[in-house]
Amino acid sequence: MHREAEIHVQVCKSLAAGLLGLALHISLVLNQRMMELASYVVALFMAASGNAELLLNDAYLPKAEELIGTARKSVTIGMYLMSKGDRISEVERCLAAAVKRGVAVQVILEQSAERNDDITQTNRETAATLKLLGVPVFFDRPERRSHLKVIVVDRRYVLLGSHNLTNSAMEKNNEASVLYDDTSMAVKLESFIISLKEDTGQKSR
Protein backbone atom coordinates (compact mmCIF):
# COMPACT_ATOMS: atom_id res chain seq x y z
CA MET A 1 0.00 0.00 0.00
CA HIS A 2 2.84 2.34 0.89
CA ARG A 3 4.51 1.59 -2.45
CA GLU A 4 1.31 2.44 -4.32
CA ALA A 5 1.12 5.79 -2.51
CA GLU A 6 4.69 6.60 -3.51
CA ILE A 7 3.91 5.76 -7.13
CA HIS A 8 0.81 7.94 -6.98
CA VAL A 9 2.83 10.87 -5.63
CA GLN A 10 5.47 10.44 -8.34
CA VAL A 11 2.80 10.36 -11.05
CA CYS A 12 1.23 13.54 -9.67
CA LYS A 13 4.62 15.26 -9.56
CA SER A 14 5.38 14.23 -13.14
CA LEU A 15 1.98 15.42 -14.29
CA ALA A 16 2.42 18.75 -12.49
CA ALA A 17 5.86 19.22 -14.03
CA GLY A 18 4.47 18.45 -17.46
CA LEU A 19 1.65 20.92 -17.05
CA LEU A 20 4.06 23.58 -15.81
CA GLY A 21 6.27 23.02 -18.85
CA LEU A 22 3.26 23.27 -21.14
CA ALA A 23 2.13 26.47 -19.44
CA LEU A 24 5.58 28.01 -19.85
CA HIS A 25 5.66 27.00 -23.49
CA ILE A 26 2.25 28.57 -24.10
CA SER A 27 3.27 31.73 -22.27
CA LEU A 28 6.33 32.05 -24.51
CA VAL A 29 4.35 31.47 -27.67
CA LEU A 30 1.69 33.93 -26.59
CA ASN A 31 4.11 36.24 -24.81
CA GLN A 32 2.69 39.53 -26.01
CA ARG A 33 -0.89 38.51 -25.33
CA MET A 34 0.06 37.28 -21.86
CA MET A 35 1.67 40.63 -21.11
CA GLU A 36 -1.53 42.38 -22.14
CA LEU A 37 -3.51 40.11 -19.83
CA ALA A 38 -1.05 40.80 -17.04
CA SER A 39 -1.67 44.53 -17.49
CA TYR A 40 -5.38 44.01 -16.91
CA VAL A 41 -4.75 41.89 -13.80
CA VAL A 42 -2.34 44.43 -12.34
CA ALA A 43 -4.78 47.27 -13.02
CA LEU A 44 -7.67 45.50 -11.34
CA PHE A 45 -5.55 44.44 -8.35
CA MET A 46 -4.26 47.94 -7.78
CA ALA A 47 -7.71 49.49 -8.00
CA ALA A 48 -8.97 47.00 -5.42
CA SER A 49 -6.20 48.03 -3.00
CA GLY A 50 -7.97 51.31 -2.28
CA ASN A 51 -5.66 54.22 -3.12
CA ALA A 52 -6.32 54.13 -6.84
CA GLU A 53 -8.73 55.08 -9.59
CA LEU A 54 -9.68 52.52 -12.22
CA LEU A 55 -9.86 53.96 -15.75
CA LEU A 56 -11.65 51.90 -18.36
CA ASN A 57 -11.59 52.53 -22.11
CA ASP A 58 -12.06 56.23 -22.97
CA ALA A 59 -11.87 57.37 -19.33
CA TYR A 60 -8.09 57.16 -19.65
CA LEU A 61 -7.36 60.04 -22.01
CA PRO A 62 -8.99 62.91 -20.06
CA LYS A 63 -7.14 61.79 -16.93
CA ALA A 64 -3.82 61.58 -18.77
CA GLU A 65 -4.33 65.08 -20.17
CA GLU A 66 -5.28 66.40 -16.72
CA LEU A 67 -2.19 64.89 -15.10
CA ILE A 68 0.18 66.26 -17.72
CA GLY A 69 -1.63 69.59 -17.81
CA THR A 70 -1.26 70.12 -14.06
CA ALA A 71 2.27 68.71 -13.67
CA ARG A 72 4.57 70.97 -11.70
CA LYS A 73 7.96 69.29 -11.78
CA SER A 74 8.22 66.27 -14.03
CA VAL A 75 6.47 64.04 -16.55
CA THR A 76 8.11 60.75 -17.51
CA ILE A 77 6.45 58.50 -20.06
CA GLY A 78 7.41 54.97 -21.03
CA MET A 79 5.21 53.85 -23.92
CA TYR A 80 5.23 50.80 -26.16
CA LEU A 81 3.32 52.58 -28.91
CA MET A 82 2.46 56.24 -29.41
CA SER A 83 0.86 57.17 -32.71
CA LYS A 84 -0.26 60.39 -34.30
CA GLY A 85 -3.98 61.07 -34.42
CA ASP A 86 -6.77 63.41 -33.36
CA ARG A 87 -7.16 61.93 -29.89
CA ILE A 88 -3.42 61.91 -29.21
CA SER A 89 -2.75 65.40 -30.55
CA GLU A 90 -4.05 66.91 -27.32
CA VAL A 91 -1.59 64.81 -25.32
CA GLU A 92 1.20 66.13 -27.54
CA ARG A 93 0.01 69.70 -26.93
CA CYS A 94 -0.14 69.07 -23.17
CA LEU A 95 3.43 67.77 -23.22
CA ALA A 96 4.63 70.79 -25.21
CA ALA A 97 2.86 73.15 -22.80
CA ALA A 98 4.44 71.37 -19.84
CA VAL A 99 7.89 71.87 -21.34
CA LYS A 100 7.17 75.57 -21.75
CA ARG A 101 6.13 75.74 -18.07
CA GLY A 102 9.55 74.43 -17.11
CA VAL A 103 8.42 70.88 -16.34
CA ALA A 104 11.08 68.21 -16.93
CA VAL A 105 9.47 66.02 -19.62
CA GLN A 106 10.89 62.77 -20.97
CA VAL A 107 9.19 60.40 -23.39
CA ILE A 108 10.80 56.98 -23.90
CA LEU A 109 9.42 54.89 -26.76
CA GLU A 110 9.91 51.31 -27.92
CA GLN A 111 12.20 50.51 -30.82
CA SER A 112 13.01 47.13 -32.32
CA ALA A 113 16.23 45.80 -33.76
CA GLU A 114 14.20 44.29 -36.61
CA ARG A 115 14.19 46.11 -39.91
CA ASN A 116 10.89 47.57 -41.14
CA ASP A 117 9.22 47.07 -37.74
CA ASP A 118 5.81 48.79 -37.76
CA ILE A 119 5.91 49.76 -34.07
CA THR A 120 9.32 51.36 -34.42
CA GLN A 121 8.32 53.23 -37.57
CA THR A 122 5.17 54.61 -35.94
CA ASN A 123 7.09 55.66 -32.83
CA ARG A 124 9.73 57.41 -34.94
CA GLU A 125 7.05 59.37 -36.77
CA THR A 126 5.53 60.41 -33.46
CA ALA A 127 8.96 61.29 -32.07
CA ALA A 128 9.55 63.61 -35.01
CA THR A 129 6.30 65.45 -34.23
CA LEU A 130 7.12 65.71 -30.53
CA LYS A 131 10.60 66.98 -31.31
CA LEU A 132 9.15 69.78 -33.41
CA LEU A 133 7.04 70.72 -30.39
CA GLY A 134 10.13 70.85 -28.20
CA VAL A 135 9.38 67.65 -26.28
CA PRO A 136 12.45 65.52 -25.40
CA VAL A 137 12.05 62.03 -26.89
CA PHE A 138 14.23 58.97 -26.44
CA PHE A 139 14.16 55.36 -27.56
CA ASP A 140 14.81 52.26 -25.53
CA ARG A 141 17.64 49.80 -26.15
CA PRO A 142 16.49 47.62 -29.04
CA GLU A 143 17.69 44.27 -27.70
CA ARG A 144 14.69 43.94 -25.36
CA ARG A 145 11.09 44.99 -25.99
CA SER A 146 9.72 47.69 -23.67
CA HIS A 147 6.07 46.76 -23.47
CA LEU A 148 5.14 49.13 -20.66
CA LYS A 149 2.46 51.82 -20.83
CA VAL A 150 3.29 54.15 -17.96
CA ILE A 151 3.02 57.86 -17.19
CA VAL A 152 4.68 59.17 -14.03
CA VAL A 153 3.93 62.74 -12.92
CA ASP A 154 5.75 64.75 -10.26
CA ARG A 155 7.21 61.54 -8.80
CA ARG A 156 3.87 61.00 -7.12
CA TYR A 157 1.21 59.93 -9.61
CA VAL A 158 1.44 56.78 -11.69
CA LEU A 159 -0.86 56.00 -14.60
CA LEU A 160 -0.31 52.48 -15.89
CA GLY A 161 -2.17 49.61 -17.46
CA SER A 162 -3.01 48.42 -20.96
CA HIS A 163 -3.56 51.74 -22.78
CA ASN A 164 -1.09 52.69 -25.47
CA LEU A 165 -1.22 56.32 -26.57
CA THR A 166 -3.07 55.54 -29.80
CA ASN A 167 -6.45 56.33 -31.30
CA SER A 168 -7.27 52.62 -31.30
CA ALA A 169 -6.69 52.33 -27.56
CA MET A 170 -8.94 55.31 -26.92
CA GLU A 171 -11.74 54.52 -29.36
CA LYS A 172 -11.78 50.86 -30.44
CA ASN A 173 -10.18 48.61 -27.83
CA ASN A 174 -11.32 47.45 -24.42
CA GLU A 175 -8.61 48.75 -22.08
CA ALA A 176 -8.03 49.00 -18.34
CA SER A 177 -5.54 51.24 -16.56
CA VAL A 178 -5.13 52.61 -13.05
CA LEU A 179 -4.16 56.00 -11.65
CA TYR A 180 -2.21 55.44 -8.46
CA ASP A 181 -1.09 58.02 -5.90
CA ASP A 182 2.08 56.50 -4.47
CA THR A 183 5.39 58.37 -4.18
CA SER A 184 7.48 55.26 -3.61
CA MET A 185 6.05 53.50 -6.64
CA ALA A 186 6.37 56.64 -8.77
CA VAL A 187 10.04 57.14 -7.95
CA LYS A 188 10.87 53.49 -8.68
CA LEU A 189 8.95 53.44 -11.95
CA GLU A 190 10.44 56.73 -13.12
CA SER A 191 13.92 55.40 -12.44
CA PHE A 192 13.11 52.18 -14.28
CA ILE A 193 11.75 54.00 -17.34
CA ILE A 194 14.78 56.29 -17.53
CA SER A 195 17.10 53.28 -17.23
CA LEU A 196 15.63 51.88 -20.46
CA LYS A 197 16.94 54.74 -22.61
CA GLU A 198 19.35 53.86 -25.37
CA ASP A 199 22.78 55.36 -24.74
CA THR A 200 23.44 57.29 -27.94
CA GLY A 201 25.33 60.20 -26.46
CA GLN A 202 22.51 62.47 -27.61
CA LYS A 203 19.90 64.24 -25.53
CA SER A 204 16.95 63.09 -27.61
CA ARG A 205 16.02 61.72 -30.99
Q: What is the mean pLDDT of the chain?
A: 81
DSSP label of 82: B
Percent of the chain with pLDDT over 90: 55
* CATH code of 118's domain: 3.30.870.10
Work out the average pLDDT over 150-175: 93
pLDDT the model gives residue 153? 97
Has residue 143 got a pLDDT over 90? Answer: no
Work out the average pLDDT over 133-153: 93
DSSP label of 28: H
In a domain? residue 2: no
In a domain? residue 3: no
Alpha carbon 25 to chain centroid distance? Answer: 24
Work out the average pLDDT over 102-130: 91
| CB-based contacts of 182, cutoff 8 Å, min separation 6 | 51, 156, 158
Beta-strand pair 137-139/104-109: parallel
In a domain? residue 8: no
The pLDDT tens digits for 8-50 are 545 544 554 555 555 545 554 555 555 555 555 555 555 555 5
In a domain? residue 154: yes
Cβ(133)–Cβ(98) under 8 Å? no
